[in-house]
Amino acid sequence: MKVLYFAWLRERLNRASDEVSPPPEVVTLADLVAWLRARDEALDLAMANPAIFKLSRDARIVSWDTPIDGASEVAILPPMTGG
């Protein structure tokens, strides 16, 4: 599964994506974020206020409790500033 990072989150991590294989106990996107944060101190610090982030699964914004099963691309999205 590919995990994408954008904007200042991408800069803080010094990379735009990770290729990961989460263990079976990682069921939801919230589980995935917790698992990723536990493995990576920079991500953990950057996401200290997790409520500001939105998540997408296969290019659709979804809630944090969405199951990851079968997802090929998940993105962690800092607050958006388009328009």
Partner 1 sequence: MIRVTPDAFDPGAEANIFQAASTEAGAMVTFTGLVRSRPDDPISALILECYPALAENELAAIRTAAVARFDLVDAAIIHRYGRLVPGETIMMVVTLAAHRQAAFDGAQFLMDYLKTDAPFWKQEETRSGLRWVEAKSEDDDARARWQR
Residues in 34-53 at the binding interface with partner 1, rule: CB under 8 A = 52
Tell which residue, 60, 68, 80, has the closest CA to residue 30. Answer: 68
- Contacts of 68 by beta carbon, 8 Å cutoff, 6+ apart: 1, 22, 26, 27, 28, 29, 31, 32, 57, 74
Q: Least separation, in Å, of the C-beta of 25 and partner 1?
A: 27
Q: Least separation, in Å, of the C-beta of 17 and partner 1?
A: 11
Query: Can residue 77 be called a binding residue for partner 1 (CB under 8 A)?
Result: yes
Strand partners, 54: 77
Residue from 38, 42, 45, 80 touching partner 1 (CB under 8 A): that is: 80
Which parts of this chain interact with partner 1 (CB under 8 A)? 4, 6-8, 52, 54, 56, 59-61, 75, 77-83
